[in-house]
Structure 1
Amino acid sequence: MKAIVITEFGGPEVLKYTEIEKPALGPKQVLIRVIATAVNFADIKARYGKYHGTGQPPFVPGLDAAGTVEAVGEGVKRLKAGDRVIAFPKNGSYAEYIVADENLTFAIPDSIDFETAAACPTVSFTSYKLLADVARLQHGETVLIHAAAGGIGTTAIQLAKVLGAKRVIGTIGNESKKAAALEAGADYVICYETEDFAAKVNELTDGRGADVILDSISGWVAEKSLECLAYYGRLVNFGNAAGGMVGQVKTTDLHSRCRSVMGFSLGTTRDRRPYLLQDTADQVLPYLADGRLQMKIGSRFSIEDAAKAHELVESRQSTGKILLTL
């Protein structure tokens, strides 16, 4: 089968479109013919060898995919050949065929097209877990979402509204991305490269601050976020797009205001507690089916052009989800 293989750690040029063996199907696993797969920022980090759990080259990158079940292994009960599914595969998704555990494969309604399905798994599952399960978003609260124009950002904005947020504020690093965040439903968008986002959030909330802050950047952005985190507020870190920068938290900023700082990783959850994701799928997929959640697809590339897709994501000029189609 054809696949994209990372031949060595490095830039987009290390992504090679080549022929590899079709993955073997094991017990309680499903073989899926891939229709489309998404490019996630974790794929960029994996290409550089900086994503947790990344093996040594050569390997196939990619976290999630949408397609049809070709065959099922011994002991599979929920799925059958021909089912339309999304999945988190065992060994990368930039390929014609993938194998995934049954408990990490989820049937999708016929009303959800394959491109929408391919765009959704990582960003929608992550966004829902962050807001509903980790931050425990309450009706009427204010949510601040950093990197609001990206795949998770545009998805989390929508889900925050669905889950009852009164006000959603987004931050962006480039003014050109403001339209994408506003289109997703943000009430206000702040460019943190040109404005003091903490001061602006406090101004917009009459000094109260944000009840929930979702931070995928870390570094100084995480530190600055504590300046606009409300009493009883929850700051959830789920990435470090800032690279080597590490944010520092003072314990004195927490207890007196009853504030919390938490972390979440969908990758860790897939590996250690995959059973938690069925409930997430049961919540998220109906939102996609009835239109309350819409995936913002920024660009599409054929799988042969995976390097071009990575270049776009790495340029920080992309908005929404970037797809690879087969």
Structure 2
Amino acid sequence: MRAIEITEPGGPRVLEWHEVPEPRVEPGDVLIDVAASAVNRADVLQRQGFYDPPPGTSPYPGLEVSGVVAEVGADVEQFKAGDRVCALLGGGGYAERVAVPWQQVMPVPDGLTLPEAAGLPEAACTVWSNVFMVGRLRRGETLLVHGGASGIGTFAVQLAKALGSYVIATVGSEAKAQRVRELGADEVVNYREEDFADKVKADVILDIMGAKYLAGNVRALRTGGRLVIIGLQGGRKAEIDLGAMLAKRVTVHATTLRSRPVDEKGVIVRSVVDNVWPLVGAGAVRPVVYAEVPMSEAAEAHRMLDSGEHVGKILLVR
């Protein structure tokens, strides 16, 4: 088969479409003929040499796919050849085929094409697990989403709104602000012009920035608020006023999804299918697709992501 290999750490040019060995189908695996994958920030970090895939997973980038089941391994009863599925991966999505534990495989929600479904697994599992399972966002509470125009952000805005929350998002331009409002955001803050911590109060914050936003996030939280950090685009280390945290009784969580054991991912995946897929099928939440790029041209898709101009997901299609 063919897959995108990272020939050396570096810019998009190091992504090359090569002949590679077929994946092995182990007991408990589902082999998927890939229709599409999607570009995530973790893929960029892996390309740059800063984020190796977890031990035992594919060396190729790609944290999500959609496609058709080609084969199932021993002990798999939940899926069969011919099923239309999407899947959460530890790696290997930029390829013609990928083998994945059945626990991380999901049916394609009603009403979606296979390419559209490729933009769901990472965003849906990240948002559901962090905002609702960890952050415990409840109906009527306020969610602040940093990076509201990203793939994660556009999904978080829609899902929180569909489940009855007041939603605030930060973005970097008026064009992105308008699009995020269209997706349901009640308020949008342009972080290039305003300090979000001076403007908003939130019960839950979904943060991709890390150190740079830590103090501001604590300021922006209401009493009893929950901060969930899922990215470090603004750095790894920062000082924090513990007195401010004590006074507000806030909780700070820092989580990752990619490196979790299969069983933990399986719990999240099943909860997503039960709680999120019905909203997708009803049209209340949809993947926001910025562009579809041939998988063999993954370098161009990475250039799009690096530019920061996109809203939603950039898909790699076969």
Long gaps (5+) in structure 1: 202-208
Equivalent position of 1:204 in the other structure: none
C-alpha separation in 2, matches of 1:264 and 1:276: 15
Distance in 2 between residues matched to 1:89 and 1:138, nearest whole Å = 29
Gap change, CA 1:81 and 1:272, over 3 Å in 2: closer
Contact 2:89–2:258 (Cα < 8 Å) also in 1: no
Match of 1:290 in 2: 282
Distance in 1 between residues matched to 2:214 and 2:172, nearest whole Å:
14
Give the secondary structure class of the aligned counterpart of 1:324. strand
Check the 8 A contact 1:150/1:319 in 2, yes or no. Answer: yes
Q: Please name the residue that 2:273 is paired with.
A: 281
Structure-2 change in CA distance of 1:196 and 1:91 (3 Å): closer
2:243 matches 1:252: yes
Q: CA deviation at 1:110?
A: 4.8
Letter in 1 for 2:25: L
Q: Distance in 2 between matches of 1:274 and 1:267?
A: 9
User: SS at 1:74's partner residue?
Assistant: coil
Give the whole-Å Cα distance in 1 for the aligned partners of 2:67 and 2:295.
14
Q: How many Å apart are 1:285 and its aligned residue?
A: 1.5
Does the Cα contact within 8 Å between 1:104 and 1:270 map onto a contact in 2? no
Retained in 2: the 8 A contact 1:124–1:284? yes
Cα contact 1:90–1:101 (8 A) shared by 2: no
Give the drift of 1:237.
Answer: 0.5
Contact 1:46–1:54 under 8 Å retained in 2:
no
5 Å-filtered alignment, 1:202-213, equals 209-213=201-205
Letter in 1 for 2:92: G
Q: By how many angstroms is 1:271 displaced?
A: 4.7
**Distance of 1:283 and 1:153 partners within structure 2:** 18
- State the match for 1:111 in structure 2: 111
Residues 211/109 of structure 1: CA separation in 2 closer, same or farther (3 Å cut)? closer
Amino acid at match of 1:152: I
2:118 maps to 1:127:
no
Q: Does 1:188 align with 2:183?
A: no
TM-score (norm. length: structure 1)? 0.92
Task: Specify the alignment match of 1:224 in structure 2.
Answer: 216
Distance 1:232 1:83, change over 3 A: same
> CA RMSD of the aligned region, Å?
1.8
Are 1:138 and 2:130 counterparts?
A: no
For structure 2, list consecutive stretches of 5 or more residues without a partner in the other structure.
none
Give per-residue Cα distances to partners, 1:113-157, cap 9 Å, x unaligned: 212210100001111112211110122111111000110101001
Match in the other structure for 1:299: 291
The one-letter code of the counterpart of 2:287 is: M
1:171 aligns with 2:163: no
